[in-house]
Amino acid sequence: MTPLTKKNADFFNSYFSAIDAAIDSVDVDRLIEAAELIWNAHISGAKVVIVGNGGSAAMASHISVDLTKAAGIRAINFNEADLLTCFANDYGYEHWVAQALEAYADKNDLVILISSSGESSNIINGVAQARQMELPVITLSGFSADNRLRELGDVNFWCDSKHYNTVEMTHHVWLLAIADYVISCRDN
């Protein structure tokens, strides 16, 4: 018997139950508020800027493409290796998001910042830069209920889990739901 066969269906049932509970914990009114911020950026001629680290950066890429292609809303992310490494090298990793926002964000842009822990200094500094530029902010975080990012946005989402995959999958589903909501409203 291998270590993999020692586990049984209880693992997967528990795993999926935890993810279902996390996804279902969202306040639907916050989803609508986030969709309205995205739509307001769009109708003002602005764009949506989505930023995260690691898995959250991959999510930012996915959501920015869906908003652009499927919803017709201009969206960008900062996942180009040359941009990230240049700004991190020149300004320090903790400041690269703020510097990228200063360089690329325009009036009325919406900034979506994602940090599973809610403690990523580059993301926290990105909020400060967005605030300085008077841009609306949506945050997504998890882990501790009192993480630094959780209350910094105009709309804040928090996933009550200490497991990266649960937090990231929940954030991803919430963001995709918002994008699909915008698309469904636009089409009706």
Q: What is the pLDDT of residues 134-147, one digit of tens each?
A: 999 999 999 999 99
Tell me what the pLDDT averaged over the chain comes to.
Answer: 96
* Rounded CA separation 95/132 (Å): 14
Q: What is the pLDDT of residues 33-50, one digit of tens each?
A: 999 999 999 999 999 999
Q: Which of 125, 148, 152, 126 is closest to 138 using CA atoms?
A: 152
17 CB neighbour count, 10 Å cutoff:
10
* Average pLDDT score over residue span 85-108: 98
pLDDT at 11: 87
Query: DSSP letter string over 45-88?
Result: T--EEEE-STHHHHHHHHHHHHHHHTT---EEE---HHHHHHHH
Tokens encoding 93: 């990793």
Q: Which of 56, 51, 60 is closest to 125 using CA atoms?
A: 51
CATH class of the domain defined by 31-187: alpha beta
pLDDT at 10: 86
* Average pLDDT score over residue span 104-110: 98
